Amino acid sequence: QLQLVESGGGLVQAGGSLRLSCAASGRASSRSAMGWFRQAPGKDSEFVATISSIDGTRYAESVKGRFTISRDGAKNTLYLQMNSLKPEDTAVYYCAARGSVGFYASDSRNDYAYWGQGTQVTVSS
């Protein structure tokens, strides 16, 4: 089992920055691919970014060049640095992990076995 806890969300003005963190605990492979997804009110869940020690990082087109995903293996923590935030980035952001059999990056939420509880990000115009 793997537990994921997000933090770092909040209210920020357009053009500002936030860094989300996701602390992982429990039994998990350090090679497990991880990702960030988000869901805005009234909209479907949306892929944001994914990272894998095997095949690197991948981003949604809407955040490419503004967001950066990274991980600190020693701290078992996943990060999402969000710069140049826009009102359309407003959503609940979820951290996810593929688990011990998922080592490749994926933009499909169906490939992720473990999920955090989410953290709210609100960008004001």
Model confidence over 95-122: pLDDT tens digits?
999 987 778 999 999 999 999 999 999 9
Model confidence over 58-84: pLDDT tens digits?
999 999 999 999 999 889 999 999 999
Query: In which residue are the tokens 């996701």 written?
Result: 22
Model confidence over 10-67: pLDDT tens digits?
999 999 999 999 999 876 666 789 999 999 999 999 999 999 989 999 999 999 999 9
Q: Is the dihedral of CA 100, 32, 73, 20 positive or negative?
A: negative
Comparing C-alpha atoms, which of 98, 77, 112 is closest to residue 32? 98
